[in-house]
Structures are given as structure tokens and as C-alpha cells.
Structure 1
Amino acid sequence: MTDAAQPRDSLARENEPRIDAEEILEGILDWVEVETPTYHGDAVNKLADKVQAVWSEVGCTVERIPGRDGFGDHVLVRSPDWKEGEPSILVLSHMDTVHPFGTKDETNPIRREGDRVFGPGIYDMKAGAYLPYYAWRHLKRLGRAHGMQVSFLYVSEEEVGSPTSREIIEREALKAKYVLVTEPARDGGKVVAARKGVGRFELTITGRPAHAGAKHEDGRSAARELAHHILEIEGYTDYARGITTNVGLVSAGTGVNVVPRDARAEIDLRVVTAADGEEMTARILNRVARDPDVTVTATGGMNRPPYERSPAIDALLEQARALAARSGLDLQATALTGGGSDGNFTAALGIPTLDGLGADGEGAHTLHEQIYLSSLAPRAGMWVELLAGLK
């Protein structure tokens, strides 16, 4: 390798501070130790306290946005040079996890096994949330914290669709030139440049109860009616178009010897384009009862718009690839992922958005969730170059 082709770190001055994977891991584990189930706002706020403290220590301004509806606070950090109306980067992270209390002590204890480090929420996404902080602090150590101004937003309820933070996310995104999302890397370190949109719906069926033995003929079964709709809605799945419909939660009846009066189902929809979202939403909501004596009500809509790839996103990806190469990282992107993120909101606004910039690992939302220690220094190096070099 010639000097010109060597990563930036190999050309650094001998006395220059280096990125330290063990130091990064120590900070990540401090955050993982705080369990943050989404619906426990007080628990999420304990992590918000830590986020607020570390950013305040490096000279950034921190705004604590009070939570509501039982959710935790959101934390908005701005670099010291931040000015309204100037080009900026918005970095999006979330503090909540899907895991219940006790996971870190019982079903997925925090532990290190070779290159693998386990713990609830470590991959999705406390490692990713910590990496830009470490990178910013490292830039200050190097005297290079003078790139484009940056806002770092940590939200408290992403795992349930960001119901209270979406307005804040979109408001801040409209101030930014680029949005970078710290969701975990995919498929061996790849970033995300497109995501499916997510829709959520509920069907409510009301029939007529009757004794299942003595007066069965007088009943109108809500469960039977629901079964027809489940088969129809599941039949909308079209893998060629990237559309999936999943009836994930179903309930009906009060007893085995009663014709069920009530039934309900919850439906998950995933689509690639906004047009597909509009089409499928209309089809799911347009319910016609088979039995004229039964009432069918459908509610819901798109929870997250599709994050569609665009020329502007491609341009951001190419810029990010060139910057990441300075730290020795060959940055590649997945074609598409089915999971949604807060990046869906910002991409739908037309703001160039790059996602999946967190740590590499596996097992999001599982009891073997883990990160790869070997990914931390390269990903931190990537963040250093992005924060210092995006134009």
C-alpha cells in the first residue's frame, strides 16, 4: 500500500489521540446497564440523564424536551457553533428498547464472548447512539471539531413508532442538509439507503351472541366473519412488489359455548413506495361484511412513510463512502430493508438520509442481541470523517 492509499489513522502524528475500541465499549455498556423499555418513561429518562450529562461535558448545548403520554423525554443536542438557517447535519438516535426489565440479568445478560458483546438493546441501538458522541469528542481531542454544524436528537419512543417525537424529528430535519441515523448496520456492516413504509390497522367485528348448543342458529359469529377478512387481507401480500400484509394479533369470543359477538385483529403492512401505501391502505380499510347482520369496522393507516432511494440519497452515500474510506472502511449499502426507522420520516420530507450507521452485530429484538467489538473502532472512524467532512 502506498502512502497515498493508506487510511488517515496510519498517517496520523504519533502523539495524536487514537480511537480506542475498549474506551468506546465502556461507554456503550454504561448505557446498556440502564434498561429502557419504551413504555417506562422514568426508566428511559435515566438514560436521558446520562446523554445530557456527556454532551454537556463536551461543550454542546442540550435541550431536554419533556415527554408526554407516559413516554420519556427527548434530548436535543447542538454543536457550539449551531446557528438557525446555516447548513447542518441532523443525527437521529433512540434511547428506548423493546426489552422488559430484567433482561440484562436473566435472559440476555451483559457479557463478552470473544468479539461478541451481548446485552439488551446493545445492537438496537445503544451502541449506535453512543458512536457519534464518541466521534464528536474525538474530533475535539484532535482539534478538528469544525465541520458542518450538527444537531443530535435522542428520542424516547422510536420502537413504538415515535408517536410523540415525530413532530420534533420532522421539524429538525427541515433545518438540516443531511440526516444520519444511528440504527444498527446490516448484513455485515452495510448502511441503509432505503426502507419500506409501515402501516398499522385494526379490524373490529361485532356480531350477535347465542348459546352454541341450544340456539346456535340465532348467533352471528364475529370470529367467522373475521376469518374471511384475515384470508383476504393476507392474500394482498405480493413479494414481487415488496408488499406484505401480516395479521399479527387476533382475539374473539368469551367462551367456547358462546357464538362470539366480538372479534378483532391487528394488521401490519409493509410497502416500498408511497403509491403502494395509498393503494393498500384503501384496500384494507374498504371492508364489506359477508354477513349483513355483522358490523365490520377498519381503522388505521400508514405509521411510517416509505424511505425511497433517490439521486440525492445516492449522492450522500457516495460522499459518505469516500469519507469512510479515509478511515479504512469500505462502506456499502443494502438494497432495501423491511424494518422502519425515524429515517422514514426524514427521507419522505426529501432530506437526504443515510441510515444503518451504528455498530455491526446481530439479533435486534432477540435474546441473543449482540455487537461485534471489532466493528466499533472502524465505525467510530467513519463517524469522525462524516462529522468533519460532509459538505
Structure 2
Amino acid sequence: MERFLQQLQGEMLAYIEKLVNIDSGSHYKQGVDTVGACLKKSYLELGFTVKEVKEKEYGNHLIIQHKDATNPKILILAHMDTVFPEGTASERPFKIEGTRAFGPGVIDMKASHSSLLYAVKALIHNGYKGYKQIKIVINSDEEIGSPSSRGVIEQEAKGIKYALVMEPARKDGSLVTARRGKGNYTLIVEGKAAHSGIEPEKGRSAIEELAHKIIQLHELSDHKNGISVNVGMIEGGSSVNTVSDHAEAHIDVRIKEIDQIEIVKEKLEEICSTTDVKGTKVSIEGEINRPPMEKNKKTRALLRIIQDVGDEIGIEIEDTETGGGSDASFTSTLGIATIDGLGPIGGNAHSDKEYLEIPSLVERTLLLAAIIERLSNKETV
């Protein structure tokens, strides 16, 4: 398979270029659906069936498996959306400089789509049957927490034994075996407006109350145990000479373990149950929308299989944990052995310096194909 992929590296890069040069920000449905149409066409040409899950607000999701597949045991997750607004692709289109390729979404995760597609092609070309044991779910809203696709992923994960997630490998090539869970909350303070020069005593400052709450929120962080609470944005007030009657804080919460969800929730509710500025009212809304991906017994066993595959083809496999979220959390929470970071190697995702390490493209595609074939064997499945 390696020789086949090496011969097609240029074709793989051209496919990445095609996808990178299509704007597909999470809220740009037309662009995401254009990427989806491109992927759909590619898989149909290989004898796969493609079911579209229609969405009104976001791009449509794709569920893909071979026409001869029966009860596949391997679920592969990928996403089409990026964090970049419409127009970014034309401002800085795909380009190659030395051994790196650049462009919006090149590593997160346009390169992964090329890698997955050509891993399937390599299996077919070399007469392997592993492609009949996979089900691919490609969603359109991963970058904003998978609000419309989480249910699709969880439904399609029924009966699955292994989940392979196509987020990029870390900069050092490590796969991801643990991720922190993530939540977003908004804390809202209502006060009473008054002129700050004429009758400030009649006002009740929402901003002052918010300041107390921000300190209390940050004190919830317990970095040693993987809990972080960060107020990343605040807003409030109407003018500099008015006691503010409204203020809000937007909060990012990260957790390491499932049990911490309720602990953090209770502490947030406790903070909002009292006020420091008399006459103000406090409320909070939001949720933990991604549970943590924990490195459990099943994931460790799957990692060992992947490391054995890596040894056979000359790739040393290391693993790591990360604070960023992904759809891997959903399958892991369902008790499915899950490994993330199976895309090519790159870095600086979500920035204008995002890049793909081109030499990793063939290597990681070969690894993915070999993993699929190994997991599809009867003795493994």
C-alpha cells in the first residue's frame, strides 16, 4: 500500500487544495455543503453509499459505508467545518512552501479527508476488505460543539466496537487518547441604572456585582485535577456616567473526568445563589456540551493494537492528552474504544499560520489503512 500511496501523493495534495479553497466555516452552510458534495462524489465513485442528514441551519451531515458492508464495527469520525469566515479561502488560498502546505483548515481537517479517502482507495487497490467494516460519519458543526450532529453520532455509534477520529495528530506525531470536557456558560447580572453624578446612590451596579462573580468563578479552577474556569469575555453598561443595569460574563469550563460535571455545575449554581451588591439579581445559563474523553481500559487496549500496527510498518506511536474538545468525547462516553488524532501531522490550527507537514501525509494514510485492516480482522473484531 505504501508504494501506491507514494505514487498518489500529488493527487492527495491536489484533493486537499480543492477542499481548502472552499470556505466552510461552521455557520456558512453553502460552503460546508459544497465540501460535502465533493466528498459524496468521491465515495460514490468507490462503491460506497452516502446518506445525507439534512440540516436547515448548519451544513448537512454525511453517513458513508460501502454498499456491501454489513454491521460495520469501526466508526470513523471527521468534520467538514472550519473556524474561518467566508472569504478567507480567497484571501489566503492553499499554498506549498518547502515541506509544508498552508491554508484555512488545511490541518483541521481538510488534509484528514484526503487521508481517509486515499486510505480507503489503498485498501481497495491492494485487495484488502477492511473498507467493508467501516462506517464514516462526517459532520458539519464540530467546531461549534456539534449541536446538531451529536445525536447523529451517538445513533450511528450503536453496535460499534472501535471509533477512529480524524482530528490531526499533534505536532510531534502523537495520537490523542484523552481530552478534557468542555462547557460554555453565560452569567447574567441585572442591576438598577442611575446617573453616576447626580444620584449614584439610587443605582445598583451590575458591573460591580459581575466583578465579584468573576473572582469567585476563577477561584473554581483546580488545574491540578484538570478543572479550569475562565471568564473570556465580559460586557455591560450603557455609558460611562451611568450606573450599569446589565452585565454579562461568558465562561469557558474545562473538566478532566465525568464526575466533575456535577461538581462544577453545583458550584456555579452556588455562586449564583447569592449577590454581593444588594439589589442586583444573578442568573446563569449554559451546559457542559462535550463530556471528557477519558483514557480508559478499552482505549488503552486499542492503543496497543495501533502501536503494534505502527511497529509493523515502521512508525513509532506515542499518545498524549489535550485540553481541546472533539467528537471523540461522545463515542468514548458511550464506552466505545476511541482513539483520536489519526489525521496527518501539522500545527497552528485555527490561525493564519495553520500548516500540514507534507511528509506525514503518506505515512499517516498508510497507518490509517493498516489500522482499518487490522481492526477488521475477525479475530480482532
Q: Is the Cα–Cα contact under 8 Å of residues 204 and 263 in structure 1 kept in the other structure?
A: yes
Q: State the match for 2:278 in structure 1.
A: 292
Contact 1:184 1:360 in 2 (8 A): yes
Map 1:1-391 to 2 at 5 A: 9=2, 18=6, 20-68=8-56, 70-83=57-70, 86-106=71-91, 108-146=92-130, 149-286=133-270, 287=272, 288-334=274-320, 336-390=321-375, 391=380
C-alpha distance in 1 between matches for 2:68 and 2:50: 13
Size of the aligned set, in residue pairs, is 374
Tell me, in whole angstroms, the C-alpha distance in 2 between the residues paired with 1:43 and 1:319.
37
Distance 1:109 1:172, change over 3 A: same
Contact residue 237 and residue 244 of structure 2 kept, 8 A: yes
Describe the shift of the 1:326–1:26 C-alpha distance in structure 2 as closer, same or farther (beyond 3 A). Answer: farther
The amino acid that maps onto 2:361 is: L
8 Å CA contact 2:290–2:329 kept in 1: the answer is yes
2:174–2:317 Cα contact (<8 Å) kept: yes
Displacement of 1:309: 0.7
The residue type paired with residue 254 of structure 1 is S
1:316–1:88 CA distance, 2 compared to 1 (3 A): same
Deviations 1:43-102 (A, max 9, x none): 11011100110000000111011013x10100110123322xx35101000000001122
> What is the rounded CA distance, in whole Å, between the counterparts of 1:188 and 1:246 in structure 2?
28
Q: Deviations over 1:182-226 (max 9, x none)?
A: 001113111000100111111010000001110111000000000
CA distance in 2, matches of 1:50, 1:187: 28
In the aligned structure 2, how far is the partner of 1:33 from the partner of 1:378?
Answer: 24
SS at match of 2:179: coil
Point out the more displaced range, 161-170 or 272-281: 272-281
Letter in 2 for 1:367: D
| Aligned-pair CA distance for 1:18 | 4.9
Residues 87 and 53 from structure 1, CA distance in 2 versus in 1: closer, same or farther, beyond 3 angstroms? closer
SS of structure 1 residue aligned to 2:249: strand
2:6–2:362 contact (8 Å) kept in structure 1:
no
Q: How far 1:321 sits from its partner (Å)?
A: 1.3
Q: Which 5+ residue runs of structure 2 have no aligned equivalent?
A: none
Shift of 1:173: 1.4
The two structures, once aligned, show a CA RMSD in angstroms of 1.5
Closer, same or farther: CA 19–247 of 1 in aligned 2, 3 Å: farther
- SS, match of residue 316 in structure 2: coil
What amino acid is aligned across from residue 227 of structure 1 in structure 2?
Answer: A
Equivalent pair of 1:148/1:387 in contact (CA under 8 Å): no
Give the Cα separation in 1 of the matches to 2:218 and 2:339: 32
How far did residue 350 of structure 1 move? 0.5
Residues 181 and 256, structure 2, Cα contact 8 Å, conserved in 1: yes
For residues 358 and 129 of structure 2, the distance between their equivalents in structure 1, rounded to whole angstroms, comes to 25
Question: Aligned partners of 1:41, 1:109: CA distance in 2, in Å?
Answer: 20
Distance 1:174 1:305, change over 3 A: same
State the Cα distance separating 1:124 from its structure 2 match.
Answer: 0.7
Q: Which moved more, 1:136-145 or 1:347-356?
A: 136-145
Q: Cα deviations across residues 335-381 of structure 1 (Å, max 9, x unaligned)? A: x1000000001101100000001110111111100100010010010
Give the distance between the partners of 1:18 and 1:114, measured in 2 at CA.
18
Decide whether the 8 Å contact of 2:123 with 2:131 is kept in 1.
no
In structure 1, C-alpha distance between the alignment counterparts of 2:82 and 2:166, rounded to whole Å? 14
Q: Distance in 1 between matches of 2:130 and 2:77?
A: 20
Take 1:77 and 1:147, find their aligned partners in 2: how far apart are those partners?
A: 11
Q: CA deviation at 1:278?
A: 1.5
Shift of 1:324: 2.5
Displacement after TM superposition at 1:388 (Å): 1.2
- Separation in 1, partners of 2:19, 2:5: 24
State how far apart, in whole Å, the 1-side matches of 2:6 and 2:24 are.
31
Give the alignment's TM-score, normalised by structure 2.
0.95
What SS does the corresponding residue of 1:231 show, helix, strand or coil? helix
> Is contact 1:44-1:95 (8 Å) kept?
yes
Quick one: percent identity of the two aligned structures?
36
Q: Distance in 2 between matches of 1:44 and 1:296?
A: 38
Distance 2:79 2:211 in 1: 37
Q: CA deviation at 1:389?
A: 1.3
Structure 1, unpaired ranges of 5+: 1-7
Indicate if the aligned counterparts of 1:21 and 1:373 stay in contact, CA closer than 8 A.
no
* TM-score of the pair, normalised by structure 1: 0.92
